[in-house]
Amino acid sequence: MAVFIYVVALLFSVIIHEVAHGYVAHLRGDDTAKVLGRITLNPISHIELFGSIIFPTILLLLKAPILFGWAKPVPIDYRNLKNSKTDIPLIALAGPAANILLVILSGLGIRLIKAFPNFEIGFGGAIESFLYIMLVMNVVLTVVNLIPIPSLDGSKIIAYFLPEKIAVRYLSLNPHICLIVLFVLLSSGIVWRFIYPIMNFFIIIFSGIAF
């Protein structure tokens, strides 16, 4: 049951992340995601076999500290954007921003439940546990997605500050090699030394509970 709850929280969080990308792209002139029906909360439109199922399962089997995964990236045609130079990093930021919003809402929900001890003892406790998972999950998704490894969102943000030729080469790095680098970072435990303090900081601020 615990694994199921984690998977549900992960899928919901990554779907919100991708919908945010698509919606901001729509606001900036590209309707590709909207036309293809990707600005929706329907999980069938977003589940990606490897990122949504296989990769999280591998992390669970390896007993990784935190579950991580991703949904099918929303299609974006950068040629339709009003100003691709500024719109691309803006669209990239939309995903982590959506996860931060979920962090805030989850934290507020936890604080609200704790304000009613009798409710917290009963059914409220189950809701609080789910909100806590959501909070932790979305802090992780925010931090990991901002790592500047192509094709994570952080790479598109960093590329904005690079000379055009270097940015193009940087963003064109082999995605399979980048995925291996990400997998090594997440499974080795090295990256968690940096993530844990950030997680604790945000979790305490928004929920009042230490991780």
Task: Specify whether 48 is catalytic.
Answer: no
CA–CA separation, 96 and 105 (whole Å): 14
Nearest to 146 by CA among 108, 202, 106: 202
Q: What count of other Cβ atoms lies within 10 Å of the Cβ of residue 163?
A: 9
Chain position carrying tokens 């962090």: 103
Domain residue limits at 138: 2-207
Q: Are 49 and 41 in contact (CB under 8 A)?
A: no
CA–CA separation, 7 and 69 (whole Å): 9
pLDDT at 175: 79
pTM for this prediction: 0.87
List of residues 6+ apart from 50 with CB closer than 8 A? none
pLDDT at 66: 66
CA–CA separation, 17 and 148 (whole Å): 17
- Say which of 18, 48, 120, 128 is annotated catalytic: 18
- How many domains are contained in the chain? 1
Amino acid identity at 164: E
Gyration radius of the chain's alpha carbons: 18
| Averages of pLDDT over each 10 residues, the chain, 211 residues | 79 93 94 91 85 78 71 88 91 96 94 88 88 90 89 91 88 82 75 78 78 60
Q: Three-class SS of residue 114? A: helix
